[in-house]
Amino acid sequence: MKKVLGLFFVFIGLLILLKSFYPEFYQFLSPYAYYIKASFWGVALVAFGLYLISKDRTWRTAIGALFVIYLALYLVVPETPGGWNFEWGWNFNGGKIEGQMHSLGTFKASNLELNNVPAEITFVNIDGDSIKAETNLPLEIERNGDSIRIYCKNCEHYKNGKLIIEVGKDINLTEISMKNVVGRVNSDIANFVEGLSFNDVVGDVNIDSINGDWISFNNVVGDIDVNVDELKRFDASDIIGDISLTIPREYKVQFLRASSISKLETQGNIYEGTKTLKVSFDDMIGRISIKEE
């Protein structure tokens, strides 16, 4: 028992040191935080059962060591990525929501960034040339020239958050980026957007229509469904989930990289067309489906 406790304290100490001197290590763990938290009782019961039925001391030691490592990770990871503050992952106050939907304002911008937002995010079109935002979370807005950043400083314990972004049909957008987002993302806008990026996202992503130059996904835990109107480049790396990509009949797919353990399924002749969509898949766990409309 002393050895197990010793291993536990050593591993906790190593995690604290890593946070202090190599914080980028937690960017690697961040997409898996949800699964570490959600699987606690399953892992605990399996480990306890294996420990009881095993008669070999070496096996018992190995099971105990692995469970201690898992327990240490469970205690330090928060329920949302991007908030590694070592509050032991427990929410003593219970989940909170802001309550009533309220407006964040109306603004014009060509670059829109969403950062540290634990909410279901919905993009919809409206008439006009401005952007409107409504939410039930204590989000803040930072303006920098032609760029708008919507973010939350202390939203780790909020539940059932919602963020609705209304995009004017006449506004020109250069890029929409999302970082450290926990929640489903739904987009149904017809605007031309030069680029869309999703980094460290836990939740399904559904894009009904994309009209732009490129879209990229990195460190995403969830299914991705994209319907292409106009697109030149599609990149996906470090994905846990299925990807469904629907392209117009005039498009052909050119694979730049396909490094994954996922199975590729195709429908229609995706290798012939007058327009080219360059596609890259790297380090994926899940099914990949590419089909013609």
Asked if 121 and 254 sit in the same domain, the reply is yes
Within-domain flag for 195: yes
Instruction: Provide the β-strand partners of residue 237.
Output: 218, 282
Q: Which residues contact 228 (CB under 8 A, 6 or more apart)?
A: 210, 234, 245, 246, 247, 248, 251, 277
Residues 107 and 222 in one domain: yes
Q: Is residue 92 part of a domain?
A: no
pLDDT in tens, 215-260: 999 999 889 999 999 999 999 998 888 999 999 999 999 988 766 5
Assess whether 244 and 285 both reside in one domain.
yes
Domain contains 28: yes
- pTM, entire model: 0.68
Q: What is the pLDDT of residue 90?
A: 35
Q: What is the mean pLDDT of the chain?
A: 82
Q: List the one residue out of 198, 206, 193 whose CA is nearest residue 167.
A: 193
113 and 66 together in one domain: no
109 and 15, same structural domain? no
Question: Of 43 and 274, which is predicted with more confidence?
Answer: 274
Q: What is the CATH number of the domain that holds 263?
A: 2.160.20.120
Domain that holds residue 189: 102-292
For residue 119, being part of any structural domain is answered with yes
Residues 143 and 284 both lie in one domain: yes
What's the rounded mean pLDDT across residues 196-214? 93
Judge if 31 and 137 occupy the same domain. no
What pLDDT is attached to residue 93?
41
Residues sharing a CB contact under 8 Å with residue 210, sequence separation 6 or more, in sequence order: 187, 193, 196, 226, 227, 228, 229, 230, 231
Pair 126, 62 in one domain: no
218 and 147 share a domain?
yes
User: How many domains are there within the chain?
Assistant: 2
| Residues 11-61: tens digit of each pLDDT | 667 766 665 555 555 556 666 776 777 788 888 888 888 878 887 878 877
Is there a domain that residue 155 lies in?
yes
